[in-house]
């Protein structure tokens, strides 16, 4: 049994499909003279098949998801056509008698060494694209690595170093029951994809790709991060039972899709979804969210090599709102910086403390042309819809002056659009509360905004001075830490007293223990990963606001995070024993 980080709840048993096997165990065979021509042909065939696969994927994603999301596959095709890329592989096959697989492995090694010299996130992403293309060609060199070859019997558990963008998209096509990755944390790409599809997943399992072979039986326990390789029949039997419970629970929860989220004392809650693109919007509808509480626009920029123009942004936002539940969408302006960077906006990676540096609106303010364009595109998209409400939200707000400046930029956007003859609708303007300074001075800010949304992922890391992505300080970066609860309670009460709508859109909103405490604090709007909506709706229907308030009163007396966690784990087990299968440590 091995233990990693639980990143998506549930239990699955299946057959391992190891995606990066080829790179972990490179082929050392030297070709005979007589084999070289055939090997070159093998490579060309694999390259052709990879190209055809990418073209098909591009068309499919374009039709089903959108033009922007499909663009990445056009980039991959151009890498595939790159002469330098292919010439190197051909030369190594001919001159050094390497197999195609070994040559591709060496090519990846070369690119990795070159790219290692840069800390530019954009370039690092391009390395991921090259890796993706290499893996794609390799999958056609070996039948066992080609998911389309049906090499796997029965339910598939994907085992990978990390999940690449094209693999994440392809997961929608293949019947994947579980995901295990070496790299990654709760906020990584694989984790977000797994959660939005309701697939149990475990990450951070160092060395797992070497331990597991394609065809091994594997158990994924997304509740506690356990993974078992080739377990004995007793363990399999026990897990089969748990797996059935997991499926039954999911089926049962799916029936609450069209129900309102109500507590036992009939208090109505808004359970909304956090999305990054159109397919998440579709998932939000499927999971019964009442709207989108956070649309992160970063993805649109990360997939472009330059600032997308106003029309392109406008069209994307319209498409997202059209696909979202009840056309209720809170669009957040670009939150780049920190761990996510876009080279064309001037990131040079020399900041000593990027999370406390030039990110979010701080960066947007310095690119007024780009910032105004985004605000105009959002206002235009919002004005398109008669039903529902599109809201405009600004991340990382720290001072009152910033809000004033933001409001004046929005006013200017209305003026410019109206002068061009474009009709506009009044768009509610809100701030994300994720900086401790804003939490402390919230009473000075609420008169200036139409709504507040707590970005607890960042707020917790700043309050506890503990990086949200650094496993070494994960014990400090805890949303259930008493100081965090004190701050959240104060902000929620202040907003409620002032009648300013308040939401929590950080990860904690979808976690049962935190959800109950937030409910007790007076929160009625929650925004979470779409997959968590059904279980939180169910949990809400098993608790009253009064009970949640009593639980909160007990918890506020605790002085340590461990006490809060222990008490809340027991409490949730009592209130909702039926949801145990979906809990995560
Ligand atoms: C947050 O900080 O809680 C949040 C929702 O935003 P992000 O995770 O994109 O920083
Ligand atoms: Mg944030």
Ligand 1 mutation target, pool 506, 509, 527, most atoms within 8 A of CB: 506
How many helices and strands, by DSSP H and E, does the chain display?
A: 24, 17
| Residue 495 pLDDT exceeds 50 | yes
* DSSP annotation string for 58-118: HHHHHHHT-HHHHHHHHHHHHHHH-HHHHHHHHHHHHHH-B-HHHHHHHHHHHHHHHHHT-
Q: Is 90 exceeded by the pLDDT of residue 196?
A: no
Read off the pLDDT band of 145 (50, 70, 90).
very low
High-pLDDT (> 70) share of the chain, %:
90
Q: Tell me, in angstroms, the distance from the centre of ligand 1 to residue 221's CA.
A: 26
The pLDDT tens digits for 511-527 are 999 999 999 999 999 99
Determine the Cα–Cα distance for residues 146 and 483; give it in Å rounded to an integer.
50
Q: Lowest mean pLDDT: which of 268-272, 303-307, 328-332?
A: 303-307
Residue 536 pLDDT class (50, 70, 90 cuts): very high
Between residues 379 and 24, the one the model is more confident about: 379
Closest CA relative to residue 168, chosen from 146, 143, 194: 194
Q: Which ligand is nearest to the CA of 456?
A: 1
Q: Which residue has the tokens 């279980």?
A: 535
Q: Which two tokens stand for residue 325?
A: 């539940």
Q: Which residues surround ligand 2, an ion (CB under 5 A)?
A: 434, 455, 458
Please tell me the predicted confidence (pLDDT) of residue 147: 46
Residues 307 and 301: beta-carbon distance below 8 Å: yes
Task: Supply the residue whose CA is at minimum distance from atom 8 of ligand 1.
Answer: 457
* Ligand 1 atom at minimum distance from 453 CA: 5
CB 455 near ligand 1, within 6 Å: yes
**Mutation test residue for ligand 1: of 191, 434, 511, the one with most atoms within 8 Å of CB:** 434
CA-nearest residue for atom 1, ligand 1, is 455
Q: Is 457 in the pocket of ligand 1 (CB under 6 A)?
A: yes
Integer angstrom CA distances of residue 197 from 19, 169, 201, 378: 19, 11, 11, 28
- pLDDT band at 303, cuts 50/70/90? low
Counting from 1 in the atom list of ligand 1, the atom nearest the Cα of 335 is 9
The strand pair at 268-275 and 329-332 is best described as unpaired
Question: What is 311-341 written as a DSSP string?
Answer: HHHHHHHHHHHHHSGGG-EEEEPP--BTTB-
Instruction: Say what the pLDDT of residue 187 is.
Output: 64
Does the C-beta of 332 come closer than 6 Å to ligand 1?
Answer: no
pLDDT of 497 > 70? The answer is: yes
pLDDT at 143: 45
CA of 439 to the centre of ligand 2 (A): 14
Tell which wins on pLDDT, 143 or 581: 581
Determine whether the shortest distance from the Cβ of 434 to ligand 1 is under 6 A.
Answer: yes
Catalytically active residues are: 189, 505
Ligand 1 centre distance from Cα of residue 397 (Å): 13
Instruction: Lowest mean pLDDT of 64-78, 258-272, 342-356, 472-486, name the range.
Output: 342-356
pLDDT for residue 150 is more than 70: no
Question: What DSSP letter does each residue of 346-376 carry, written as one string?
Answer: T--S--S-GGGSS-HHHHHHT-HHHHHHHHH
Kindly report the backbone phi and psi dihedral angles of residue 218, in degrees, each rounded to the nearest multiple of 5, phi listed first: -145, 140
- Which range has the worst mean pLDDT, 14-18, 264-268, 440-444? 14-18
Instruction: Give the Å distance between the CA of 54 and the centre of ligand 1.
Output: 32
Nearest CA to ligand 1 atom 4: 455
Kindly report which listed range (44-53, 426-435, 469-478, 555-564) carries the lowest average pLDDT score. 469-478
Strand ranges (E), 232-317: 261-262, 268-275, 292-296
Whole-angstrom distance, CA of residue 358 vs CA of residue 351: 8
**Contact in structure between 13 and 180 (CB atoms under 8 Å):** no
Ligand 2 centroid to 335 CA: how many Å? 8
Kindly state if the Cβ of 456 falls inside 6 Å of ligand 1. Answer: yes
Over the chain, what is the mean pLDDT? Answer: 88
- pLDDT(249) > 80: yes
Stretch 246-273: mean pLDDT: 93
Does residue 32 carry a pLDDT above 80?
Answer: yes
What number is the average pLDDT over the span 453-472?
Answer: 90
Residue 149 confidence (pLDDT) above 50:
no
Return the ligand number nearest the Cα of 460. Answer: 1
- Closest atom of ligand 1 relative to the 454 alpha carbon: 3
For ligand 1, whether the C-beta of 335 sits within 6 Å is: yes
Atom from ligand 1 closest to the CA of residue 294: 5
The answer to which of 127-141, 345-359, 508-522, 564-578 has the lowest mean pLDDT is 345-359
Which residues lie below 8 Å from residue 425, measured CB to CB, with a gap of 6+?
379, 382, 383
Atom in ligand 1 nearest the alpha carbon of residue 527: 5
**Entry pTM:** 0.76
Say which residue, 63 or 399, is predicted with more confidence: 399
Pick the atom of ligand 1 nearest to 457's CA.
3
State pLDDT tens for residues 217-242. 999 999 999 999 999 999 999 999 99
Q: Indicate whether residue 506 lines ligand 1 (CB < 6 A).
A: yes
Average pLDDT over residues 55-60: 83
Mapping DSSP to helix (H, G, I), strand (E, B) and coil, where does residue 452 land?
A: strand
**pLDDT for position 347:** 63
Phi, psi of 293 (to 5 degrees): -90, -15
Report all structural domains of the chain as residue ranges with CATH numbers, in order of start. Answer: 2-23+146-251 (3.50.30.10), 33-141 (1.10.274.10), 255-582 (3.20.20.60)
Specify the DSSP element, H or E, that contains 45.
helix 36-64
Quick check: CB of 294 below 6 Å from ligand 1? yes
pLDDT for 186 beyond 90: no
Lowest mean pLDDT of 37-41, 231-235, 410-414, 556-560, name the range: 37-41
Going by C-alpha positions, the residue among 303, 308, 335 that lies closest to residue 166 is: 303
* Residue 422: predicted pLDDT: 95
Contact 159, 208 (CB under 8 A): yes
The pairing of strands 217-221 and 176-181 is unpaired
Q: What is the pLDDT of residue 136?
A: 82
Residue 312 scores a pLDDT above 90: yes
In this structure, which ligand is nearest to the CA of 274? 1
Taking 50 as the threshold, does the pLDDT of residue 329 lie above it? yes
Residue 339, pLDDT above cutoff 50: yes
């Amino acid at each position: 049994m091995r233990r990693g980080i639980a990143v998506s709840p549930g239990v699955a048993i299946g057959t391992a499909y190891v995606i990066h096997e080829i790179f972990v165990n490179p082929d050392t065979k030297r070709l005979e003279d007589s084999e070289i021509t055939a090997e070159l042909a093998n490579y060309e065939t694999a390259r052709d098949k990879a190209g055809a696969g990418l073209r098909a994927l591009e068309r499919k994603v374009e039709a089903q998801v959108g033009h922007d999301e499909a663009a990445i596959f056009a980039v991959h095709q151009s890498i595939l056509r790159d002469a330098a890329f292919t010439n190197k592989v051909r030369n190594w096959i001919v001159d050094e008698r390497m197999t195609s697989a070994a040559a591709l492995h060496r090519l990846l090694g070369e690119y990795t060494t070159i790219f290692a010299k840069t800390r530019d996130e954009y370039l690092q992403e391009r390395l991921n694209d090259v890796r993706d293309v290499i893996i794609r060609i390799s999958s056609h060199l070996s039948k066992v690595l080609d998911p389309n070859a049906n090499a796997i019997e029965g339910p598939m558990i994907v085992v990978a170093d990390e999940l690449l963008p094209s693999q994440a998209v392809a997961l929608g096509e293949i019947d994947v029951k579980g995901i295990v990755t070496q790299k990654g944390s709760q906020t990584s790409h694989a984790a977000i994809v797994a959660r939005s599809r309701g697939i149990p997943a475990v990450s951070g399992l160092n060395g797992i790709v070497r331990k597991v072979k394609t065809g091994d039986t594997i158990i994924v326990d997304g509740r506690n991060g356990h993974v078992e390789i080739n377990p004995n029949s007793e363990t399999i039997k026990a897990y089969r039972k748990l797996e059935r419970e997991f499926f039954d629970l999911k089926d049962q929860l799916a029936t609450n899709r069209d129900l309102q989220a109500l507590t036992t004392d009939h208090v109505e809650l808004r359970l909304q979804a956090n999305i990054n693109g159109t397919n998440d919007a579709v998932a939000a509808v499927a999971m019964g969210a009442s709207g989108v509480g956070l649309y992160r626009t970063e993805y649109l920029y990360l997939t472009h090599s330059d600032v997308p123009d106003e029309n392109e942004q406008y069209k994307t936002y319209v498409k997202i709102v059209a696909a979202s539940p009840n056309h209720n969408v809170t669009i957040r302006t670009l939150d780049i910086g920190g761990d996510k960077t876009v080279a064309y906006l001037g990131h040079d990676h020399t900041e000593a403390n990027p999370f406390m540096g030039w990110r979010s609106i701080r960066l947007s303010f310095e690119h007024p042309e780009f910032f105004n364009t985004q605000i105009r595109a959002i206002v235009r998209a919002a004005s398109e819809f008669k039903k529902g409400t599109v809201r405009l939200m600004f991340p990382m707000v720290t001072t009152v002056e910033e809000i004033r400046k933001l409001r004046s930029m929005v006013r200017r956007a209305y003026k410019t659009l109206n002068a061009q003859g474009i009709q506009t609708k009044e768009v509610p303007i809100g701030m994300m509360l994720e900086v401790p300074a804003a939490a402390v001075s919230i009473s000075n800010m609420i008169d200036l905004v139409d709504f507040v949304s707590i970005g607890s992922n960042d707020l917790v890391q700043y309050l506890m001075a503990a990086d949200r992505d650094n496993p070494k300080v994960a014990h400090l970066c805890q949303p259930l830490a008493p100081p965090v609860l004190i701050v959240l309670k104060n902000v929620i009460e202040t907003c409620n007293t002032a009648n300013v709508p308040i939401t929590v859109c950080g990860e904690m909103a979808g976690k049962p223990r935190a959800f109950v405490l937030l409910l007790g604090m007076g929160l009625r709007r929650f925004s979470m990963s779409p997959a968590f909506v059904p279980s939180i709706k169910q949990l809400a229907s098993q608790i009253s606001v009064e009970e949640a308030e009593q639980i909160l009163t007990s918890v506020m007396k605790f002085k340590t995070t461990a006490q809060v966690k222990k008490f809340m784990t027991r409490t949730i087990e009592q209130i909702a024993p039926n949801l145990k299968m979906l809990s995560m440590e």
